[in-house]
Structure 1
Amino acid sequence: MVAASSPSRRLETETMRQNPERRRALLDAAIDVLAEEGARGLTFRAVDARAEVPKGTASNYFANRAELLLQAGAHVHVRLTPTDEFMDRFKNALPSREQTRLGMQDLLRRIEHNRNGYLALLELRLEANRHPGIREELTRTIKETLEENVRTHLEGGFPGDRTTVVTLYLAMTGLFIEHLTLPAVLADDAAGPLVDRMVDLIVPGPDQA
């Protein structure tokens, strides 16, 4: 027979599930495991060990491995969110190609600072290619983020159109992959100046408006 959970044990488990700091620590640990060991290394046990919590903790917060993967992917975007201070300055400045350049440089700094986060997202993309359910959810999340960027750009009055935003997104994505996974490929080309050049080529200037 399997013993029924006591009321105190059920309450403890429910409290753990509602502990946002513990959940965030587990997601941070999952991101590190994904980045350093790959999707196959992502297990509840590995996450518990990385987060330095008792065995079985992760399984109390996430129903299954797929849910853990998806929530880790969503948490990557949280970790990459610009600071409120930067966004206040960005929104209060006149929309221009220069402001777009500053935004892309800030994104580069955030990606470099959260290297494991971006590498984890790449691992999640590969895992999504093998599992339709994960692919569907990840596609929705990435697409929503891209559409929000397009909306912010257009409603903010920044130069260019939807194609400008999508092209810049693809260019930056390609740069991040090389810069973070095979940095020696671009050893002779610093990432910062490359970002400036991409913005110059993709985003219309005052004389092109």
Structure 2
Amino acid sequence: MARNDDRRAVLADAGIRVLAQSGARGLTHRAVDAEAGTPRGTASNYFPTRDALIAELVSRIGERLTPDPELLASRATQKPTRALFATYIRDVIVRLSTDPDVSLALFELRLEAARRPSVAESLGAWRRQAFEGDVDFTSQAGLPGTRREIALFHYAIDGLMLDRLTVPIDPETPTDDIVEDLVTRLLA
């Protein structure tokens, strides 16, 4: 069978949905094939091991969460302010909220990383690289926020997304208001 990038993406997207819907224990090659609507054995042909499948899911999640380069370019001309920083944070929340399967799959992988060193290795490398990218972007854009503050935003966004995707403690407060409060308080 010829391997192609489109089929690989379809399988990875199916794996993300399986993770989101069934958790890490439900992530099997057979479940991915069923979700993708591909013949049995297709997923294992592309990803021969569970670790290879998970590594591909981490990569695909990264692709799906990557910001729109045109949007970033349009904002690059704006004066770096706390308000612009808040806009970037809102963009992150929108990307994480628009497709809840991606965020839920990411949370499932983080839980699985606590149990499986191979998952911790691939997911940890991706998370650290993304964090360093965020720190570099913030610095190069001249936006407010130190490395420590960027880390605090990561912690806060992770908690906010877990809250909003599961059982919100304060569902009446709009997410935008929470982001505004986070930016104001963390960059005081």
Query: Counterpart of 2:143 in 1: which secondary structure?
Result: coil
The percentage of aligned residue pairs carrying the same residue is: 36
Runs of 4+ in 1 over 3 A off after TM superposition: none
Q: Would you say the 8 A contact 1:79–1:114 is kept in 2? A: no
Matches of 2:187 and 2:10, distance apart in 1: 39
Partner of 1:80: 65
What CA deviation, in whole Å up to 9, does each residue of 1:12-71 have, x standing for no partner?
3xx22xx00000000000000000000010111110010011111001100201111121
State the Cα distance separating 1:188 from its structure 2 match.
2.3
Query: Counterpart of 1:73 in 2: which secondary structure?
Result: helix
Is 2:167 the partner of 1:196?
no
- The normalised TM-score by structure 1 is 0.86
Q: Would you say the 8 A contact 2:10–2:36 is kept in 1? A: yes
Partner of 1:110: 95
Query: Counterpart of 2:80 in 1: which secondary structure?
Result: coil
Partner of 1:5: none
Is 2:127 the partner of 1:142?
yes
State the Cα distance separating 1:94 from its structure 2 match.
1.6
Letter in 2 for 1:115: P
1:65-76 aligned at under 5 Å gives the runs 65-76=50-61
Matches of 2:170 and 2:6, distance apart in 1: 38
Matches of 2:77 and 2:63, distance apart in 1: 23
Partner of 1:54: 39
Query: Counterpart of 1:175 in 2: which secondary structure?
Result: helix
Structure 1 gap segments, 5+ residues each: 1-11, 205-209
What CA deviation, in whole Å up to 9, does each residue of 1:91-141 have, x standing for no partner?
221211111111111111111111100100110111111111221221111
Structure 2 gap segments, 5+ residues each: none
Structure with higher RCO (Cα < 8 A, 6+ apart): 2
- The normalised TM-score by structure 2 is 0.95
Is 2:30 the partner of 1:45?
yes
Matches of 2:62 and 2:187, distance apart in 1: 24
State the Cα distance separating 1:84 from its structure 2 match.
2.3
Larger C-alpha radius of gyration, 1 or 2? 1
